[in-house]
Structure 1
Amino acid sequence: MLDNLTQTPEPATQDDAARLAELIVIAGDGLPLVVWEGMRQGDESLMDIGAARAARETGGFSFRNADVIRDGGEVISALVSYPLTEKTSQTDLATVPELFKPLVKLENLVVPSWYVNVLATVKAARRRGAGTALLSAAETRARAGGYQHLSLITGDINPARSLYESFGFRVAAQESIVKDGWNYAGENWLLYVKDLGAV
C-alpha cells in the first residue's frame, strides 16, 4: 500500500460507498455510528447502513459530494463538501435531535458558504499531503461556485485542527458538545472559516 499514492483528487463513485462510510466514522470519531444505530432495521450492520447512505444520489453524505485520493485503486482519503445555502429556522431547529442542535446553530452562522462535512485519511497514509490536496479541491469548487467562504466544524480535540489552521481556516465560533450516547472526550464544537475574498 502507498506505493502508487498520488495527490490528485478525483470524484468518488458509487462503488466507493463502503470506504466512504469507513472514512466518515474516522472523521466523526464514531458519531456516525450513533446516528446509524438509530436507523438500524433487522440484522443489518451499522457499516451497511453507512454504505447505503453514501451510495445515495442525493443528501449531504452522498458519493456525489465526495472527492477521493487513491493508492492504486483503493481510496485512502476522502472529503465530502457541498454548499450551505439556507439557514435552519428556529421552528425547524426545535425538531432537530439534541445531539445535532449545536452543529446546526454553527452552520447557520456561515450561510452561505462551501461546507466541508467530512475529511479523513486512513492512518497509514496520513501526513503525506492528501488532506491538503482535498481541501484545495474543495476550495476550487467553492470559488467556481462563487462562494466567498469555506467552512467546517470539528471537535476541540481533533488533531486535524493544525492542518485546517495551516490551510488558512480560523475559529469563528463554538458551541458546547451534546454527547447523548456518544463517547467523546472533547467539550466544544469549533466552527472554522476560511475567507476566500471576492470571487
Structure 2
Amino acid sequence: MDIQNAKKEDAKYLAFLINLAGEGIPHYLWSGMTRSGETPSDIGIQRAGREDGGFSYTNARVVKEGADVVGMLLSYRLDDPYIIDNLDDIPEVVRPLVVLESKAPGTWYVNAVATLASHRGQGIATGLLKDAEAKAIVHGVTRMSLIVASENQLARGLYLGLGYETRETLPVVDYPGCLHGGSWELMVKELSAA
C-alpha cells in the first residue's frame, strides 16, 4: 500500500472523505458558511486546500488509485496544554468533541480516517492508522487519540482491535443528517517505540 502526503489538488477528495468520517457534521457546518453561489462542498474544498489549520491537506496522508484518493487520514499533535477559550463560541454540535479532545493533550490525534465504500475491507484504514502511529513516534509522541460514535460499531471494532481504549464519553448532540446517536467516545492508545 502506497501511503503518501496529500497534495493541495487532493482537496476535493479530502473534503468528501472528511465529511464521511465526520458523519455529516462537516457538511452541516459548511452549510452555514456558504455565500451566494457556493455549496457546502465548495467550502470544504477551500478549507482542505488551506496551508494551515487542523483540516488542511498538510495534515493528511492518503492512499491513491491512479490520481484518485481512495482513503485518507488526517492527524496532528494536540496542544499541551489544550485550552478552550470560550466553549460558547464553538458550534453546539462539536462542543462535546472539543471537550473530549481537551482530555488528551499532547497526544497524536486522528481527526479523521475514511475509505471510499468501494475500497473498504482492503486494510486501507488499518494501514493509515499504523502510518499515523509511526509518524507520532518520529515526533516523540507516546499516545494516540481519536473520537468515535459509540453506535459506529464498525469503526469502534477497528480501533479496539488496534489497541485503542475508551477513556471518556459525552453525548452526541443531534444535528440534521445525524448518522449515529449515543455517545462520542475518546479512545486512546499507548505507543511503544519498539
**What is the TM-score when the length of structure 1 is the normalising length?**
0.91
Q: Does 1:64 align with 2:58?
A: yes
In structure 2, the partner of 1:138 is: 132
Q: 1:191 & 1:52 partners in 2: Cα distance?
A: 28
In structure 2, the partner of 1:4 is: none
Structure 2 counterpart of 1:183, from 172, 178, 184: 178
In structure 2, the partner of 1:121 is: 115
Asked if structure 1 preserves the Cα contact closer than 8 Å seen for 2:170 and 2:183, the reply is yes
Instruction: List runs of 5+ in structure 2 lacking aligned partners.
Output: none
Letter in 2 for 1:153: I
Deviations 1:58-95 (A, max 9, x none): 01010000000011221100000001014123x42232
Question: 1:141 is paired with a residue of what secondary structure?
Answer: helix
Structure 1 counterpart of 2:17, from 23, 48, 53: 23
Q: 1:113 & 1:191 partners in 2: Cα distance?
A: 12
CA RMSD of aligned residues (A): 1.5
Q: Does 1:160 align with 2:155?
A: yes
Letter in 2 for 1:157: E
Question: 1:146 is paired with a residue of what secondary structure?
Answer: coil
Alignment of 1:63-102 (within 5 A): 63-85=57-79, 86-89=81-84, 91-102=85-96
Question: 2:34 is paired with a residue of what secondary structure?
Answer: coil
Number of matched pairs: 192
Give how far 1:28 is off: 1.2
Structure 2 counterpart of 1:42, from 30, 36, 40: 36
Q: 1:120 & 1:61 partners in 2: Cα distance?
A: 14
Q: 2:5 & 2:180 partners in 1: Cα distance?
A: 33
Q: 2:187 & 2:120 partners in 1: Cα distance?
A: 21
Q: 1:8 & 1:157 partners in 2: Cα distance?
A: 31
In structure 1, the partner of 2:166 is: 171
Q: 2:118 & 2:5 partners in 1: Cα distance?
A: 22
Instruction: List runs of 5+ in structure 1 lacking aligned partners.
Output: 1-6
Letter in 2 for 1:183: C
In structure 2, the partner of 1:3 is: none
Q: 1:99 & 1:114 partners in 2: Cα distance?
A: 23
| Identity within the alignment, % | 39
Letter in 1 for 2:90: V
**What is the TM-score when the length of structure 2 is the normalising length?**
0.94
In structure 2, the partner of 1:104 is: 98
Q: 2:126 & 2:193 partners in 1: Cα distance?
A: 22
Asked if structure 2 preserves the Cα contact closer than 8 Å seen for 1:88 and 1:104, the reply is no
Which is worse superposed, 142-151 or 183-192?
183-192
Asked if structure 1 preserves the Cα contact closer than 8 Å seen for 2:10 and 2:57, the reply is yes
Q: 1:35 & 1:189 partners in 2: Cα distance?
A: 18
Give how far 1:25 is off: 1.2
Cα pair distance change 1:56/1:155, threshold 3 Å: same
Which is worse superposed, 116-125 or 183-192?
183-192
